[in-house]
Every structure is written in structure tokens, then in C-alpha cells.
């Protein structure tokens, strides 16, 4: 940033459906300096609460947005400018910004990139494809998740790698068909294979979270020619431990009260589990077919003793592609200790103060790690 430049800090757009966000509170004071990556403010959306991180170092000259107030995407939250810029200039900038600012239309038209649906093996698969690079990265969510799990990763990965990044809803999840075949890893791997074929994609990087990691591993084993590399985030299939109570509890919960403690287990910072996140999860769980699908999948995921049923740890070396592994230190679902037995060929990162949903809680770090260790050569 050159001197005398005034930069607006605006309400971010996290994901397609985000129209507005609520500024919960500022984490830095007016006039203070911050570094790149610092958390500046807490913002809550319909889907999740998260922090606005600084994309560069600077000085927070003037705070415009108030705590506990909802602002449309793109609205001015604060102004970042060097001390050399006068208050008058700052104020004039704010006035001009505000007079010209038009919130994004709330209509559906021209919303930019939309999620699409494609039929694969008689299943409707919803996916969101961004970027138009030749290289393709597929994001595979975990058990009970959906493509919104990549809210804080998707855009940035496109931006920083120039790749085409696709996130999908696995069968039984999100807004894809709630039919899960044999409900095992092979079923999901086969579906992904058919999905890529349907999109005419021969090879792709796979980044999988939790069960999505195990699915990615299974895919790599079964279709080695179609995989460029694996990013495994809090992945299943790398050890036998798993929080069986969580799986059962999540599966059986039907009300907000019941599900809340289970969802809180997913995060190091439990306050991230807001009412909207819970509601979204319940809405998903209340779709016809979801309960049966989740049941079937969990039966395949776990063995009779409540341990993980499938292991890929010993076969990692046989996979020709590059593999990197990320974990949250405070993961209460699959322990970070599973990183300890990884072969040296695998690059790994364990992030403090993050839980199972580490790609959301520490999005920047995860994104950067994936870029540095998997996606750029």
C-alpha cells in the first residue's frame, strides 16, 4: 500500500447467499495499527460467525460501522489509511463512499456464480465451480457437511492459485440427492469419479475434510490416474480414533437443544456455533432422506466397536501423488494425534486454537498451507 492511499474496509461476502452481515464487535480500536492476517472485527452471517482478517498491514483510521448492527455486503465498515492522510480527506472519502454505495440487489438475478446441479449416476449433485484455470481442485466436505463448509476457502483459493476450484455436495448431503447407495467410501469415490467425468475433468487435486479426506484417499487409491494431489484436513482414514458419541449424537439430534452441544464440539471457539448455524443444520437434517442417509453412512464409517472402519495410513506411501495434512489442535472429533504417525513424505500442519472445522476457524492458515504445500510447485 502506498502512502496517502485510503482503503475501505467493507462487509465481506462469504459465500453466494450472503447478502448482509452483522458486525458483532471490533477487535481493534480506532487509530491502532494492525498486521496482515490480524482479526479486525467479528462478523456474523446467516451461516456462521467469523472474523474479518486484514489482508494487509495498515492503520484503522476511522470506524464507520457500529457493533451489533447489520450491514449489506460491500458496506463501509471502516477506513484504513496512513497517518499522513488528513482527517478531512478521510471524512470526505467516507462521504463520497456512502453517497455512491448501492447495496447489492437482493434479487436472484445476476448473482454472479451460482451453484449448479448435474446428474451423475442418476443422482443430482450440486456443485459450485469458481475460476477457470486448467488445473482443477475439488473440495470434498465431511460427514453432515456441504459445500458451504468451504465458505472461507473457496474464493481465496481461486484468487491465489488461478485454479478452477469446485466444491460439491456429496450424495446424502447439502442439496444433492439423498440417496447414498452402499454408503461406503467407494460409493462416494465412485460418485466423485463419475462427477469429474461428467464435467470432463481428467485429473484434479482433492482437498477433503474429515470423511471427505477418507473419500479422497479412497479415490486416490482407486483412481490413481485421476488425482494430482491430496489435501487432507482433519481427515478420517489416518488412524482409528473417532468421537463415536459425536456421530451418534449428531445423527440422533432433532432439536436445537439437542444438536447444539454436538455442533459446539466441532469448533475450538464454541461461540461460533450461532443460532443460524444450528438452524441451517437442522433444516438440512429435516429434509426427507437425510436421516436415513446419515445413518447408512455412519454405519459404514464406523466399525462395531465405534472405531474408524477404514485405514489408509499404511498405504499412503503407495500413493504417487503429493499429500499434505492439516489438523486443528483442539479437534474433538478426530484427534490431531493422528498426524503423529504420518510418513515423512507427507507435509503436515497442526494449528493451535482450532477445532475440527479448522478450515473455517483458521481459514487463512489452511488456505496458505494448501497453496504452499499442495497447489503450487
Partner 1 sequence: MARKITYQQAINEALDQEMTRDESVIVMGEDVVGGSGGHGEMDAWGGVLGLTKGLYAKHGNRIMDTPITESGYIGAAVGAATCGMRPVAELMFIDFMGVCLDQIYNQAAKFRYMFGGKAKTPVVIRAMYGAGFSAAAQHSQALYSIFTHIPGLKVVLPSSPYDAKGLLIQAIRDDDPVIFLEHKVLYTLEGEVPEEPYTVPFGEANVVREGDDVTIVAFGRMVLHATGVADKLAKEGIKCEVIDPRTTSPLDDESILESIENTGRLVVVDESNPRCSMASDIAELAVTRAFEHLKAPVKTVTAPHTPVPFAKSLEDAYIPSPEKIEAAIRSIA
From candidates 1, 92, 287, 320, binder to partner 1 by CB under 8 A: 287
Least distance from C-beta 108 to partner 1, angstroms?
A: 7
Helix (H) or strand (E) holding 6, with range, is strand 6-10
Q: Nearest to residue 325, comparing CAs of 309, 343, 310, 307?
A: 343
Nearer to partner 1, 174 or 328 (CB): 174
Q: Could you tell me whether strands 49-53 and 33-34 are parallel, antiparallel, or unpaired per DSSP bridges? A: unpaired
Contacts of 84 (CB under 8 A, 6+ apart): 3, 4
Mark 248-268 as b/e (b = at least 16 C-beta within 10 Å): ebbbebeeeeebbebbbbbbb
C-alpha grid cell for residue 165? 476450484
Nearer to partner 1, 7 or 276 (CB): 276
Using DSSP's 3-state secondary structure scheme, residue 159 falls into helix
Question: What's the CA gap between 70 and 144, in Å, rounded?
Answer: 29
Question: What's the CA gap between 301 and 149, in Å, rounded?
Answer: 20
Task: Tell me the window of 25-33, 90-98, 280-288, 316-324 that interacts with partner 1 (CB under 8 A).
Answer: 280-288
Nearer to partner 1, 69 or 337 (CB): 69
Q: Does 289 bind partner 1 (CB under 8 A)?
A: yes
Task: Tell me the window of 54-62, 265-273, 284-292, 356-364 that interacts with partner 1 (CB under 8 A).
Answer: 284-292
Q: Does 286 bind partner 1 (CB under 8 A)?
A: yes
C-alpha grid cell for residue 229? 494431489
Nearer to partner 1, 172 or 239 (CB): 172
From candidates 141, 178, 209, 348, binder to partner 1 by CB under 8 A: 178
Least distance from C-beta 18 to partner 1, angstroms?
A: 13
Least distance from C-beta 282 to partner 1, angstroms?
A: 9
Contact positions with partner 1 (CB under 8 A) in 31-90: 68-70
Binding mask 214-253 for partner 1 (x = CB under 8 A): ----------------------------------------
Q: Does 288 bind partner 1 (CB under 8 A)?
A: yes
Q: Does 255 bind partner 1 (CB under 8 A)?
A: yes
Judge whether 183 and 250 are in contact, CB under 8 Å.
Answer: no
Judge whether 175 and 146 are in contact, CB under 8 Å.
Answer: yes
Q: Interface residues with partner 1 (CB under 8 A)? A: 68-70, 108, 115, 117, 126, 175, 178, 254-256, 275, 279, 283, 286-289
Amino acid at each position: 500500500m502506498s502512502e496517502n492511499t485510503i482503503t475501505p474496509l467493507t462487509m465481506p461476502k462469504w459465500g453466494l447467499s450472503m447478502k448482509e452481515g452483522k458486525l458483532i464487535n471490533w477487535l481493534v480500536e480506532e487509530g491502532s495499527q494492525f498486521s496482515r492476517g490480524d482479526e479486525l472485527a467479528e462478523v456474523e452471517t446467516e451461516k456462521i460467525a467469523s472474523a474479518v482478517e486484514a489482508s494487509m498491514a495498515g492503520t484503522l483510521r476511522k470506524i464507520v460501522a457500529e457493533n451489533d448492527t447489520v450491514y449489506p455486503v460491500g458496506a463501509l465498515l471502516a477506513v484504513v489509511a496512513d497517518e499522513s492522510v488528513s482527517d478531512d480527506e478521510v471524512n470526505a472519502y467516507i462521504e463520497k463512499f456512502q453517497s455512491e454505495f448501492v447495496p447489492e440487489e437482493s434479487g436472484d438475478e445476476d448473482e454472479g456464480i451460482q451453484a449448479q446441479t448435474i446428474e451423475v449416476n442418476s443422482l443430482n449433485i450440486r456443485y459450485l465451480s469458481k475460476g477457470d484455470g486448467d488445473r482443477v481442485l475439488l473440495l470434498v466436505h465431511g460427514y453432515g457437511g456441504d459445500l458451504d463448509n468451504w465458505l472461507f476457502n473457496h474464493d481465496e483459493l481461486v484468487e491465489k492459485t488461478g485454479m478452477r476450484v469446485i466444491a460439491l455436495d456429496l450424495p446424502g448431503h447439502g442439496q444433492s440427492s439423498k440417496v447414498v447407495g452402499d454408503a461406503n467410501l467407494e460409493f462416494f469415490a465412485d460418485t466423485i469419479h463419475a462427477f469429474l467425468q461428467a464435467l470432463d475433468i481428467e485429473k484434479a487435486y482433492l482437498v477433503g475434510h474429515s470423511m471427505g479426506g477418507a473419500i479422497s484417499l479412497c479415490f486416490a487409491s482407486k483412481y490413481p490416474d485421476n488425482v494430482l494431489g491430496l489435501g487432507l484436513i482433519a481427515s478420517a482414514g489416518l488412524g482409528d480414533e473417532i468421537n463415536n458419541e459425536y456421530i451418534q449424537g449428531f445423527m440422533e439430534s432433532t432439536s436445537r437443544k439437542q444438536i447444539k452441544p454436538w455442533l459446539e464440539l466441532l469448533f475450538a471457539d464454541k461461540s461460533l456455533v450461532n443460532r443460524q448455524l444450528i438452524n441451517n443444520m437442522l433444516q438440512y437434517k429435516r429434509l426427507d432422506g437425510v436421516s436415513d442417509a446419515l445413518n447408512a453412512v455412519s454405519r459404514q464409517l464406523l466399525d462395531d466397536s465405534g472405531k474408524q472402519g477404514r485405514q489408509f495410513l499404511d498405504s499412503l506411501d503407495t500413493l504417487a501423488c503429493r499429500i499434505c495434512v492439516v489438523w486443528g489442535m483442539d479437534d474433538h472429533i478426530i484427534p490431531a494425534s493422528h498426524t503423529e504417525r504420518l510418513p515423512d513424505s507427507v507435509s503436515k500442519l497442526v494449528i493451535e486454537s482450532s477445532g475440527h472445522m479448522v478450515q473455517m476457524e483458521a481459514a487463512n492458515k489452511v488456505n496458505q498451507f494448501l497453496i504452499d504445500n499442495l497447489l503450487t510447485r
